[in-house]
């Protein structure tokens, strides 16, 4: 495997780990800081707002600095932020760590999802490449709660989070030698300004708004949802890991099984199933039904993000990949800012299932928006 591909895979792995941290430490962090669900939800919303701003900024600086410099900033900043989170004893310190994690996340995100499709499969099958890349997102997402859930009671909060920080720093070792990275293009302000009004960018961003609302909120509150079913913290983190494993398996399934002709209507169909499985979570009376519905949701959500990104690239062309990705991800991150706070309000009032109903509505909206993106916009990719 080339160092370019290894760096891209490491980027999406790091993104998965960063996005899974909040849900993995939420219960322990609340206990340590003495905060309720509503206060805790402000931390993940702050990280998502930071991601929004930094997504646009990284989309601008990547063509100027190149993929290697952006990757090194992302891996280094991610490790430092997690180490800060491991040592802080104040809510303000935790807020600083999560805000700074937003910058790190968008650096590794852009490197993974924009560099990756250029260096995998000869750049000829972007949807398949995106799904293969984002398998590593699933690996990072399930390893993080698995490690934290099983070590935090034995090694302690600080040591366990320090280990996660070390994992984020490891890719620096090969990224410094990644000398064969392709160009990140050139930033063109007039062309970038035109992208803001591009219907494909707007629809792709709106669809990602719904998807990121689902992923960020479920990732942050599944342990709380399971606690509502009387599941203890260790088991809840293990179930959270399973959620990410199912998401990972769905992306592998998509890469190996789904033909290119299916991709235009793939996300609308998956979103229909997601709406049903989330409603099953709302109505679940037993822990078994709740866990099965949760895992089914993870499986059908898995291919949505990489496929949406790939379809949007196809509708806009890939000459300005970093800028397009930055814009649609920034729009999508609005969902990660507001929806977890809505869920936090419901959870703090003891009614987390009402919040799940909001997520089911997001899945229905994803059906409509992804269908419009696929069928109402012509494909420009060569």
Side-chain-side CA neighbours of residue 184 (13 Å): 27
pLDDT at 167: 93
Side-chain-side CA neighbours of residue 67 (13 Å): 31
Round to whole Å and give the CA distance between 116 and 10: 10
Round to whole Å and give the CA distance between 88 and 86: 6
- Candidates 43, 103, 48; CA nearest to 74 is 103
Q: What is the mean pLDDT of residues 297-304?
A: 94
Q: List the structure tokens of 222.
A: 């599944």
pLDDT tens-digit series, residues 248-273:
899 899 988 988 888 888 999 999 99
Q: Which of 111-115, 190-194, 347-351, 369-373 has the lowest mean pLDDT?
A: 190-194
Q: What is the mean pLDDT of residues 358-370?
A: 94
Q: Does residue 137 surpass a pLDDT of 60?
A: yes
How much is the mean pLDDT over the chain?
86
Q: Which CATH architecture has domain 3-178+186-376?
A: Up-down Bundle (1.20)
pLDDT tens-digit series, residues 76-96:
999 999 999 999 889 999 999
Q: Where are the domains of the chain?
A: 3-178+186-376
pLDDT tens-digit series, residues 320-359:
566 788 788 888 888 877 887 788 778 777 778 888 898 9
pLDDT at 362: 94
pLDDT at 113: 83
Stated pTM of the model: 0.76
Round to whole Å and give the CA distance between 72 and 125: 27
Q: With bands split at pLDDT 50, 70 and 90, how would you rate the model's confidence at 382?
A: very low
Round to whole Å and give the CA distance between 223 and 372: 34
SS percent in the chain: helix, strand, coil, step 5: 85, 0, 15
Q: Does residue 13 surpass a pLDDT of 80?
A: yes
Q: Does residue 134 surpass a pLDDT of 60?
A: yes
- More reliable by pLDDT, 230 or 195: 230
**What one-character-per-residue DSSP string does 17-51 give?**
HHHHHHHHHHHHHHHHHT--HHHHHHHHHHHHHHH
- Candidates 5, 120, 15, 135; CA nearest to 67 is 5
């Amino acid at each position: 495997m080339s160092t370019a591909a290894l760096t891209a895979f490491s980027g999406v792995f790091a993104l998965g780990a960063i996005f899974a941290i909040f849900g993995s430490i939420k219960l322990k962090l609340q206990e340590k800081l003495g905060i309720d669900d509503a206060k805790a939800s402000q931390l993940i919303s702050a990280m998502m707002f930071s991601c929004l701003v930094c997504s646009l900024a990284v989309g601008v600086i990547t063509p100027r600095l190149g993929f290697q410099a952006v990757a090194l900033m992302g891996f280094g900043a991610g490790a430092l932020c997690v180490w800060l989170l491991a040592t802080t004893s104040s809510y303000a310190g935790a807020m600083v760590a999560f805000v700074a994690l937003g910058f790190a996340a968008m650096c590794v995100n852009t490197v993974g999802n924009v560099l990756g499709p250029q260096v995998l499969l000869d750049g000829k099958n972007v949807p398949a490449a995106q799904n293969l890349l984002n398998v590593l997102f699933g690996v990072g997402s399930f390893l993080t709660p698995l490690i934290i859930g099983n070590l935090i009671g034995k090694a302690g909060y600080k040591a366990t989070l320090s280990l996660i920080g070390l994992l984020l720093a490891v890719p620096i070792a090969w990224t410094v030698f990644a000398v064969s990275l392709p160009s990140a293009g050139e930033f063109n302000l007039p062309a970038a300004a035109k992208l803001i009004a591009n219907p494909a960018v707007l629809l792709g961003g709106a669809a990602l708004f719904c998807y990121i609302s689902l992923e960020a909120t479920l990732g942050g509150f599944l342990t709380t949802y399971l606690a509502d079913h009387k599941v203890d913290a260790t088991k809840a983190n293990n179930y959270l890991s399973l959620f990410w494993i199912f998401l990972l398996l769905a992306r592998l399934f998509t890469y190996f099984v789904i033909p290119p002709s299916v991709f235009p209507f793939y996300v609308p169909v998956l979103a229909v199933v997601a709406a049903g499985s989330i409603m099953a979570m709302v109505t679940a009376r037993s822990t078994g039904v709740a866990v099965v519905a949760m895992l089914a949701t993870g499986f059908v959500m898995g291919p949505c993000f990489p496929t949406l990104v790939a379809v949007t690239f196809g509708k806009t062309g890939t000459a300005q990949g970093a800028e397009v990705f930055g814009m649609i991800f920034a729009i999508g991150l609005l969902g990660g800012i507001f929806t977890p706070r809505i869920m936090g309000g419901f959870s703090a009032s003891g009614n987390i299932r009402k919040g799940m109903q909001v997520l089911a509505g997001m899945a229905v909206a994803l059906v409509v928006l992804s269908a419009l993106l696929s069928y109402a916009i012509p494909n420009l990719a060569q």
